[in-house]
Structure 1
Amino acid sequence: MRSIPLGSAPALVPLASLEVRIRLGITDAQSDTDLQRYLMDATEAVLTFIGRPLLSQTWQDQIFVRPFPRTLSLLLGVYPVHNVIAVTRNGTALEQDTINDLVIDDDCGELYRPDVTQPFWPAGRYLVTYEAGYNPPVTLDDGTVQPGNFPGAICLAVRRVAAASYYAQGRDPTLKSENEQGVGSTSWAVPDPSLGGLTPEAAGLVQRFRSAGCA
């Protein structure tokens, strides 16, 4: 199965706001500009690590259902699912009332038939058009930011990766700690190349979002 996006792709924006600068002690405009770049890089790294589409858009999936074993649900490739627009089987469209009655597990993209006496999907080639994904933050004309609905764990991972990159400026990026006699020691969370540039903490935060479907 392959999920095909319909229409233009939504613009990618940082999934964490510049408010993180308060925690980093940033007060000048140049550092703000640098942090914005780190937030965008961190966003791309986190989404790449998760490895499945997450931005809200209209999608179309082609699903083949075989006669055996019987299929209880159609598993869509992008979730959470907001709305099922159309379903066809072997070129014949399901009636709108039937689509409206579908039971949707929106958190993992499974579609169930509403008829409990005939719960299995008939064999055939299905095309499912639907809306799914998370909405990123949006900056309005007056400068205010609507936060979107990305899970907090993903946004926190972006902040952690951006902060680690920011703190790595001007030092060996592989250096995890430093000791200075009579002063003390300092340690840093370091991006790990084997984790796609995420810190171990950030990778742990978003690990559960990598799996397709329900656990």
Structure 2
Amino acid sequence: MLQRALLTFNALAIVGLSLIPLQPALAFVDDKRVLSDHRWYTEAYVKDYLVKNYPTLVTGAFHKTVRYAYAADAPVSGSGFSVHQALPMSARRHEAFLWSEKDAGKSLGAEIDKQCVLLISESLHSLKYQVRRARIKARDTNTVAVAVITDVRSGELTAAPRDLSTYKTRPISLIPAEGDRRLLCNVYRSTTRSAGITYEFSVVLTASGFYLRYK
């Protein structure tokens, strides 16, 4: 929970003071919200970005005890794996910032990239946490095995762009991966606020379960 709080704090901090007055009035439902971009990322890019810019957050998503196997890649194979443990998982994350005239000296593209990477990182951390919770519930005390989370897919909320509510019951629409990139950040923009343009970010991930790989 502490790591998750740190992720949230850093995600808020990077977008500057313009985010502060936005947050209390932020509404998940917005009739003026439109899709701005589907930004796809490789896992390597996300990890490298964190290593360079937010090293304290790396283990939240990329701990030595977890790996991610994506649906678009070849199925997990090899020796040393346990029987697959079915565990339907999902992660829904959302953030936003207000881009106004006072932000003219900043790079919008760089700010969007930061927010997407942090939100993807937090979403991967959520999958890792769900597996950890399942292992604790099963009284799995093996601290050597690596959990390989399987069939990881990206998508968007079915109700987007109008409704970006992150409740765990919100329906998800999966989107096929592009090239070698597996992790999607949905970027939206809205002109609801007169003070500037609201940029919103939604990351949605699903997974089917996990294997334990023994060293």
Quickly name the TM-score band, shorter chain normalised.
Answer: under 0.3
Larger of the two Rg values belongs to structure: 1
Higher relative CO (Cα under 8 Å, sequence separation at least 6) belongs to: 2
